[in-house]
Each structure stands twice: as structure tokens, then as C-alpha cells.
Amino acid sequence: MNLAVAQFQPKDGDKTYNLSIIRNLTKQAKVKGADLISFHEMSITAYTFTRNLSLNEITDLAEDVPNGKSTQELINISREFGIPILAGLVEKAQGKIFNTYLCVTKDGVVARYRKIHPFISKYMSAGNEYCVFDLLGWKCGILICYDNNVIENVRATSLLGAELIFAPHVTGCTPSTMPGRDYVDDKFWQNRKTDPVSLRLEFDGPKGRRWLMRWLPARAYDNGVYYAFTNPIGYDGEHLKNGNSMIIDPYGEVLSEVRSFENDITISKITKEKIQLSGGWRYKNARRPELYKDILGGNHKSDTTPVWMTEKTAKY
């Protein structure tokens, strides 16, 4: 399968604009031979700005799935170019608000996943189930951003049969307790055409790509799965993001990666032969869950508040 992942700079709350970029990049992917394309977390609405929205404002932003206008337009784009599309939005259902990621084809919604660990808005509810579905002969899973940091989520999704995990994000270039993590100064972005090297050094360092490389390949390697990582480039809200959308194989190797500062895609051919040859496949078969099922399943209070949202480090 020829898998495409995308990156682009969204506009806050401007669904028409964001869907137009999704359409353009889907067209580009189709022309280049992709069989499907994946976009970042809440790519239809944008993400970071929603933390400052009131309940009425975020409810107005949210839509029904599958009958909402944005979902229907996504289906129309998929029908126009003849390939499945994965993208994210804000969903309202049963009186609740969700950070939701969809897979659509020309025939409608194939899969819907609600983020298990949302934190950007106090009005968002957490999803309560994993998502594994069939697509183009592959077993696929979805985990949104922070969900991938909790390793049990990845293991559970792979144990449910996922061979390929879509990992839509809005991440990087925010403060952390890890040395070197922080915001990237706006001057580097503004000078990206005259001084691209300085911005690339910022994005590739511990604020961005180097942090991703500490854990993202490990998720693929430990579970013997392919990973489709997506992330915006440029500003999402007031936060500058480093892009680096990439496709990782079951050995933890980066097959291809977007290295530009533009709205862009990358495509890799993925093959099932690698999966059963990978270490992660063997490790899953070697498990002895009787030793740790009660430990891993013990009661625990979840806390997902990132350092950049704490009072001590909040910049905005």
C-alpha cells in the first residue's frame, strides 16, 4: 500500500479553508500514486485555540458525525479523488464534546475514534474505546497525540490486531521538564526563507524532532506495527509546530518524512512482510500476561496536564 501523510498550517476555526488545504493535498497525493492520506489532529478546525473557547463557542465549533457539514465534505473529497482520507475535528454527540478522528471513503465514515486523553479544553470528554478497522486489506488503528505517549494504549491497539497505527498529533515546540524542550522563537519562523538553516536546527533539536525520535520509533518497534505520524507545520493557534510528518516501519526505521516548511506530503510503500519479521511481533508472542495483568490493570488516577499548560510555564 502506498501510504501518504500530510502536514499543513491550519487556520483557527476556519473549516472552509482547512478543508480546501485537505482537498489540495489529497489531490497531490492521488497524482503521486498514494492509496490513502492521513492528516493531523483536529486538522479541520485547528487545535490549540480551542483551549480558550467557552462552552458555547466550542459547542458551536463542534459538529455531528457523520451528518455534519465537515464530515460530508471530507467524504466528497474522498469520492472526488478515489482514496480514503483520515482527518480530525471537534464532534458533539449525546450532549458531549469530543476530539474525534475519522477515516472516510467515498461511501461514508469507515472509522471514528475519540481521543482517550484529551486536555486542550475542559469541556471535552474522553473517549472510552480503542478503534481497529479494516482498510484496503490492512488492519488499522488510531491513537490521537497524547494517547500514543501512554504505551499501554499502543500495545492494546496492536493486540486488537492493528498492523498500521495512525497517530495524528499537534505537538512539539512547547516547554517540558526534559532539558532543551521549549517554545521556538517566532523570529526563526519569520526568517525561514532567508535563513532556513536556523529554523531547521530549532525544529530538529530537542524542541521538536529529537524529542520525537526518543519515543516514536519505539512505539512502532516494540509493537511490530507501522506508524503514520502527522503534525502541523507553522502556527496552530499561538504555538509554532515543527511538522516532521513521517512514516515509520515495524523495525522503527523512518521510511519517509516531510522536511519542508510548507504544506506538504510524503508517501511510502508499506508491505506486510516486515511485520512478522520484526522484533515487536516476536515480543508480543513471548508475553506472559499472567505475571503482570493485575499490575497493569490496577486502579490508577489519570493526569494528562502537560507542563506547558501549568501556571508556572504558561506563556500566553
pLDDT tens digit string along 181-215? Answer: 999 999 999 999 999 999 999 999 999 999 999 99
pLDDT tens digit string along 107-155? Answer: 999 999 999 999 999 999 999 999 999 999 999 999 999 999 999 999 9
- pLDDT averaged over the chain? 96
Enumerate residues 6+ apart whose C-beta is below 8 A from 86: 36, 37, 38, 39, 101, 102, 103, 104, 142, 166, 168
* φ and ψ at residue 234, rounded to 5 degrees: 80, -150
Quick check: 314 pLDDT over 60?
Answer: no
Q: Where are the domains of the chain?
A: 2-309
Quick check: 316 pLDDT over 60?
Answer: no
CA distances to 83, 164, 167, 168, 249 from 136, rounded to whole Å, are 10, 11, 18, 19, 18
Would you mind telling me the total number of residues written for the chain in this entry? Answer: 316
Locus of grid cell 458533539: 92
- Are 141 and 166 in contact by the 8 Å Cβ rule? The answer is yes
pLDDT tens digit string along 6-59? Answer: 999 999 999 999 999 999 999 999 999 999 999 999 999 999 999 999 999 999
Q: Is the pTM of this model over 0.75?
A: yes
The Cβ-side half-sphere exposure at 309, using a 13 Å CA radius, reads 13
Q: Which fold has domain 2-309?
A: Nitrilase/N-carbamoyl-D-aminoacid amidohydrolase (3.60.110)
